[in-house]
Structure 1
Amino acid sequence: MEKKYSAAIYPSQDVIDSVKTMKDYLKSKINWYNSCNSTAHITICEFTIDDSQIHTIKNKITKTCNTLTPFQVYLDHFGSYDNAGAFFIAPNETSKNQLKPVMKKIQEILQSLKLKKSDDPHLSIGRKLIPENLKIASQLFTTIEIDFLCKEIVLRELDPIKKQFFVIDTFEFGSNPEPEFVQGSLF
C-alpha cells in the first residue's frame, strides 16, 4: 500500500515546546491555520512509496547518518515566503551552511524516488497564511534566539486521517566519516 513519508530534522524538546507556544499564540490571534498542529521540524524531503520499500529506505538513511557528526544549530531570525504564505524561524548563516549538506546527502540517497525537496532549512510557524495573517505573524514575533544540537534525522509517516506526520524511526548521527579512497600502489 502506498504511503507518504517525510525525512526531517527535529530540534530539541525545549525548542519544540517553544515553537508550539508560538503556534498556539498565533492560533489564538488568527484561528486555525495550516501547520498550527505540526511538531516543529526542518523538512528535508517528502515522498510516496509502497510501504514494502520502507526497509530499504531506512537502511540507506542509517548508513548515511552513521557518517554524519552532530553540530549546534542557531536560529536567530524570522522570515517568510510571501508567495507560499509561510512564516518561519531561520538559522543563522553558519548553521544554514551546516544544515544544507546534511539535507542534500539525504536527498541524494533517495534521489531514485520522486521527492518533494526543501533546499532552504527553516522551522515553519505557519504555512498557506493569507497576506493579512502573514503580517500579523510578523508583528507578533520579531526576535528569536534559540539553538539545538542537530544529532539525528527522523523518518515520519503521514496519518491520512489526522493529516499529520508521526515519527516512525530516528537515525542518530554516528560521527564515523567515510574513509577517503586513496589510490595505492602495489610496487
Structure 2
Amino acid sequence: METKYSVVFHPSEDGIEFIKKLKLKLFNEIGWYGSCNSVAHITIGGFKANENQLAKYRQKLSKIADTLTPVQIYLDHFDAYEESRAFFISPSEDSKINLKPMMRKIQEALLISSKDRSDDPHISIGRNLTPENIQIAHDLFTTINMDFLCDAIILREFDPVKKQYFILETFPFGSNPQPELIQGSLF
C-alpha cells in the first residue's frame, strides 16, 4: 500500500510557535481555513511510496542532507498567490537564492514530478482563501522580520485520519559537499 509523504524545511521551534499564533489570529478573524492547523514549513515536494520504496527515499535524503551546508534564512514580507488563493510569508530574495538550489537538488534526486513540487520557497499561512479573506490577512499582517537556520531536511508522513502530516525523520545537513567529477586525460 502506498502512503503520501512530504519533504520540507522547518523553521526553528520559536518560528513554528510564532507562525502558529499568526494562524490563530487569522482563524479568529475568518474562521476555519486550509492550512489552519498545519505546522509551519517550506514545501520542497511530495510523493507516494510503499515501505520498500520509502527505504530508498530515506537513503537518498540522508546522502543529500550530508552534502548540504546550513544557511540562515530571512523571512521579510507577506504575499499571496491570487490564482491558488494562498497567503504566505516569503523569504528575502537572498534567502530564495540559497533555498532554490537545495530544493532542486532534493526534487531531482527523489524524482519528484513538477506537479508535486514547490519552485517558490514560502511558508503558507492560509490556503484556499477567498479574495476577501486574503485581503483580511493582508490587513492583519503587514510586516515580518524573522529568521531561522535551515539545517535539516524533514520527511513527513500523511495521517489520513487526522488529515495532517507528522514528522517521520529529520536529516541534518552534514556540510560535506561532494567533490565535482573532473574529467582528466589518461595520458
Q: TM-score, normalised by structure 2?
A: 0.96
* Deviation, structure 1 residue 24: 0.4
* Deviation, structure 1 residue 115: 5.8
Q: Kindly indicate whether the alpha-carbon contact (under 8 Å) linking 1:26 and 1:137 is maintained by their aligned counterparts in 2.
A: yes
- Note the 1:1-187 alignment, pairs <5 A: 1-111=1-111, 116-185=116-185
* Deviation, structure 1 residue 123: 0.4
Q: Kindly indicate whether the alpha-carbon contact (under 8 Å) linking 2:87 and 2:124 is maintained by their aligned counterparts in 1.
A: yes
Cα distance 1:42–1:48, how it changes in 2: closer, same or farther (>3 A)?
Answer: same
Unaligned runs of 5+ in 2: none
Cα distance 1:53–1:113, how it changes in 2: closer, same or farther (>3 A)?
Answer: farther
* Deviation, structure 1 residue 48: 1.2
* 1:79-132 Cα shifts (integer Å, max 9, x gaps): 100111100000000000100001000100111768601000000000000111
Taking only the aligned residue pairs, the percentage that are identical comes to 56
Q: CA RMSD in A?
A: 1.3
Unaligned runs of 5+ in 1: none
**How far, CA to CA, are the matches of 1:11 and 1:156 in structure 2?**
15
SS of the equivalent of 1:60 reads helix
**How far, CA to CA, are the matches of 1:115 and 1:159 in structure 2?**
21
* 1:59-78 Cα shifts (integer Å, max 9, x gaps): 00100110000000000000
**How far, CA to CA, are the matches of 2:93 and 2:140 in structure 1?**
24
SS of the equivalent of 2:19 reads helix
- The letter for the 1-side match of 2:24 is D
**How far, CA to CA, are the matches of 2:114 and 2:171 in structure 1?**
22
* Deviation, structure 1 residue 170: 0.4
Cα distance 1:88–1:112, how it changes in 2: closer, same or farther (>3 A)?
Answer: closer
Question: Which deviates more, 41-50 or 112-121?
Answer: 112-121
**How far, CA to CA, are the matches of 2:60 and 2:113 in structure 1?**
13
Q: Kindly indicate whether the alpha-carbon contact (under 8 Å) linking 1:76 and 1:145 is maintained by their aligned counterparts in 2.
A: yes
* 1:14-71 Cα shifts (integer Å, max 9, x gaps): 1101100000000001011000100000000011122321110000010011000000
Cα distance 1:174–1:87, how it changes in 2: closer, same or farther (>3 A)?
Answer: same
* Deviation, structure 1 residue 183: 3.1
Q: Kindly indicate whether the alpha-carbon contact (under 8 Å) linking 1:47 and 1:115 is maintained by their aligned counterparts in 2.
A: no
**How far, CA to CA, are the matches of 2:138 and 2:150 in structure 1?**
26
* Deviation, structure 1 residue 181: 1.8
* Deviation, structure 1 residue 184: 3.8
**How far, CA to CA, are the matches of 2:80 and 2:114 in structure 1?**
26
